[in-house]
Amino acid sequence: MGVALAVAPLVLPSFFLQLLTEIAIIGLFATAFNLLMGFGGMVSFGHAAYFALGAYTAALLVKRAGVPLLAALAAAPLVAAAGALLFGFFIVRLSHTYFAMLSLAFAQIVFTVIFKWKALTGGDDGLLDVWPPTFLKSPAAYYYFTLVIVGLCILALHAIVDSPFGYALKAVRENPRRARYIGIDVRRHQLAAFVISGAFSGVAGSLFAFYNGSVFPDFAYFTKSFEPLVVALLGGVQSFFGPLAGAFGFKILEWLISRQWPVYWPLVLGGIVVVVIVVLPSGFVGLVGGRRWRRQPAVKA
Amino acid sequence: MSGLSVGMLLFLVSVGMSLIFGVTRIVNLAHGAFYMVGAYLMVTLVELLPDRPWAFWVALLLAPVGVAVLGGVVEVGLLRLIYRRDPLLQLILTFGLILVIGTLVLLVWGPDNKSVPRPDALAGSVKIFGQPFPSYYLLVLVLAPLVAVALWLLFYRTRWGMLVRAATVDREMLGALGVNVAALYTQVFVFGSWLAGFGGALAAPTVAVALGMDGDVLTTAFVVVVIGGLGSFAGSFIGALLVGLLQSFGILIFPAVSIVLLFALMAVVLIVRPWGLLGRPDA
């Protein structure tokens, strides 16, 4: 797998390299999201907010302040994490349905602020010409660059899931009350997971900003929050690598369908969700493993 | 005054959402989409019906019925299959329906904004306190409270309403007492969808009927029910009035941040009383 990804630029035309770059970015976004959903049992409907915070932070720093790319990329997760800390402080106080709805509400605030604050963010027009420096401009160079950063982030997330913190988080998901009895501070763990997840979503957003060359308020819109959810559902939320596999399936499907019938893409996207939920609750990866939603403890990937 | 009528329209949408949640414990995220379908059906019906004074009123009756049918199909065809599973799956499913319905509306009605002409009798404006006020808004101000009174009578003076209230308190006990809870779920979902459709149809002449109106109304209705308390009838009424007034005054005072004001109010309510002003804990 690693070798195949490494030699890909030698054999594939640049279009597919861009597709792979997008897959890596959304794979990271969905994996970060799934730290909450799969391992923490918390479904956020507003993760686009942290993706957008990362994207806008990086784009604004490079464009308005002339900060070098790497520094901008480093700042993005910090701002996203700060946003996640601020909102998460309130969100983790609620459970299940209310959790999802409040996260959606905060994301709508972020969207509105970006949309209305024309002087800073460009409003509806977005920020254009946000390109990386010349040595990263070719699709192959940016592909390698993305692959390295996404790879490092995935390793870090995997280490987090595998750490005592990760196991405590799973305990909170399975039974918050019992977790509290054995001395786990439930809210603090949930908030920490929320902030970590937001920070990595911010990394994904900043990588996407330079890949895309521009940022738009849509990045924070609720349909964007839907993407990591669908990707994670497609790949299976119970496994760590499920969302990465889901990202492959998702992007390739999107490419196949929106090339021919762009109008139908949201229909297919929504249709997939409906079908997966009604028919295949553990995602397509679950088809192979035969695991059921929330019935068995998460298995180490 | 216009804040009041906006609040009244919001009430129609959010009370349906709140009702569905109270009984089925599903937050129907597609509720805004139902509202949008109601408005678009209104567009089509007004176009199709002959150009007579009664056409508008017939359309206003029929459009919500179409939405109610749609709600029935969704409940029986999809939601019923997953009631026993994790509630989050139901939430995600209705989220998926937003995309499906949104695309179908785009395919059927096209991307252009539509408008519904106000009926001739209400096309003008009247002076209230020296300010011109569109007379159509008066219709909203009359109809929506009428619906509110009708709802109150329905919930507190009929057997069906009693069952609905019982279901919001303890569904299992109601089932154990021999009530067909599955049928009640369908009825409530259909009725809630009808309310969303009615809100959409009634709002159609006051707004541009456009794609994306579902997201706007969903977030506002959501703020209303969270502030008022999910599953609380009176809470929806008070929440809708508060939000409607806050929105129209907010636009006058801080145009750019009026929506932030709204969510800030909601965040405060959630922090102080997570179950809403008039809701019950443990929702």
**How far apart (Å, rounded) are the C-alpha atoms in residues A59 and A52?**
10
Is A296 a member of any domain?
no
Is B259 a member of any domain?
no
Q: DSSP letter at B128?
A: E
Q: Taking CA atoms, what residue in B is nearest to A267?
A: B100
Q: What is the domain count for chain A?
A: 1
Q: Do B99 and A112 count as a contact with CB atoms less than 8 A apart?
A: no
Q: Which long-range contacts (CB under 8 A, 24 or more apart) does B253-262 make?
A: B256/A116, B256/A117, B257/A116, B259/A108, B259/A109, B259/A112, B260/A109, B260/A112, B260/A113, B262/B220, B262/B223
- For residue A54, what are the β-bridge partners? none
Q: Do A112 and B271 count as a contact with CB atoms less than 8 A apart?
A: no
The range of the structural domain enclosing residue A104 comes to 12-220
pLDDT score of A297 more than 50? no
Q: Which residue, chain included where needed, has tokens 């597609």?
A: B30
Q: Do A97 and B106 count as a contact with CB atoms less than 8 A apart?
A: no
- Nearest-neighbour CA in chain B from A116: distance (Å): 6
**What is the band of A292 on the pLDDT scale with cuts at 50, 70, 90?**
very low
Is B226 a member of any domain?
no
**How far apart (Å, rounded) are the C-alpha atoms in residues B210 and A64?**
35
- For residue B127, what are the β-bridge partners? B132
Taking the alpha carbons at both ends of chain B, their separation in whole angstroms is 34
**B87 reaches A (C-beta below 8 A):** yes
Contact, A205 vs A80, CB < 8 A?
A: yes
What is the pTM (predicted TM-score) of this model? 0.81
- Nearest-neighbour CA in chain A from B235: distance (Å): 17
pLDDT score of A281 more than 70? no
Contact, B191 vs B14, CB < 8 A?
A: no
The 10s digit of each residue's pLDDT in A264-275 is 888 888 888 888
pLDDT number for residue A217 = 92
Q: Mutating which of A89, A90, A110, A112 best tests the B interface, going by the most B Cβ atoms within 10 A? A: A112
Q: Do B106 and A263 count as a contact with CB atoms less than 8 A apart?
A: yes
Is B146 a member of any domain?
yes
pLDDT score of A187 more than 60? yes
The 10s digit of each residue's pLDDT in B49-71 is 888 888 889 999 999 999 999 99
Closest Cβ–Cβ partner in A45, A100, A267 for B103: A267
pLDDT number for residue B2 = 72
- Nearest-neighbour CA in chain A from B184: distance (Å): 22
Closest Cβ–Cβ partner in B100, B106, B266 for A270: B100
pLDDT number for residue A36 = 92
**What is the band of A282 on the pLDDT scale with cuts at 50, 70, 90?**
low
The 10s digit of each residue's pLDDT in A60-73 is 999 888 888 899 99
More confident residue, A172 or B265: A172
The 10s digit of each residue's pLDDT in A9-33 is 777 788 888 899 999 999 999 999 9
pLDDT number for residue A284 = 54
pLDDT number for residue B242 = 86
Q: Do B99 and A273 count as a contact with CB atoms less than 8 A apart?
A: yes
Is B270 a member of any domain?
no
Low-confidence ranges of chain B (pLDDT < 50): 283
Q: Which residue, chain included where needed, has tokens 């990937």?
A: A301
**What is the band of A300 on the pLDDT scale with cuts at 50, 70, 90?**
very low
Q: Mutating which of B89, B97, B108, B257 best tests the A interface, going by the most A Cβ atoms within 10 A? A: B89
- Nearest-neighbour CA in chain A from B82: distance (Å): 7
DSSP B145-210: HHHHHHHHHHHHHSHHHHHHHHHHH-HHHHHHTT--HHHHHHHHHHHHHHHHHHHHHHHGGGS-B-
pLDDT score of A236 more than 70? yes
Q: Do B103 and A97 count as a contact with CB atoms less than 8 A apart?
A: no
Q: Taking CA atoms, what residue in B is nearest to A86?
A: B267
pLDDT number for residue A50 = 97
Mean per-residue pLDDT over chain A, rounded: 86
A149-153, A279-283, A291-295, B139-143: least confidently modelled range: A291-295
**B154 reaches A (C-beta below 8 A):** no
Is A21 a member of any domain?
yes
Mean pLDDT of A167-188: 92
**What is the band of A223 on the pLDDT scale with cuts at 50, 70, 90?**
confident
DSSP chain A: -HHHHHHHHHHS-HHHHHHHHHHHHHHHHHHHHHIIIIIH----S-THHHHHHHHHHHHHHHHHS---HHHHHHHHHHHHHHHHHHHHHHHTTS-HHHHHHHHHHHHHHHHHHHHH-HHHH-GGG-B---PPPGGG-SHHHHHHHHHHHHHHHHHHHHHHHHSHHHHHHHHHHH-HHHHHHTT--HHHHHHHHHHHHHHHHHHHHHHHHHHHT-B-GGGGSHHHHHHHHHHHHHH-TTSTTHHHHHHHHHHHHHHHHHHH-GGGHHHHHHHHHHHHHHH-TTHHHHHHH---TTTSPPPP-
pLDDT score of A294 more than 60? no
Is B267 a member of any domain?
no
Is A230 a member of any domain?
no
Q: Mutating which of B73, B80, B86, B92 best tests the A interface, going by the most A Cβ atoms within 10 A? A: B92
The range of the structural domain enclosing residue B149 comes to 2-210
**Selection from B31, B38, B32, B37 nearest residue B189 by Cα:** B31
Q: Which residue, chain included where needed, has tokens 């700042």?
A: A75
Q: Do B259 and A112 count as a contact with CB atoms less than 8 A apart?
A: yes
Phi-psi region of B110 (alpha: psi -120 to 50; beta: other; left: phi over 0): left
More confident residue, B254 or A285: B254
Q: Taking CA atoms, what residue in A is nearest to B30?
A: A270
Is A72 a member of any domain?
yes
Size of chain B, expressed as the number of residues it contains: 283
**How far apart (Å, rounded) are the C-alpha atoms in residues B39 and B28?**
18
Closest Cβ–Cβ partner in A45, A98, A281 for B95: A45
Q: What is the domain count for chain B?
A: 1
- For residue B114, what are the β-bridge partners? B209
pLDDT number for residue A48 = 95
Is A58 a member of any domain?
yes
- Nearest-neighbour CA in chain B from A70: distance (Å): 33
Closest Cβ–Cβ partner in A90, A108, A271 for B100: A271
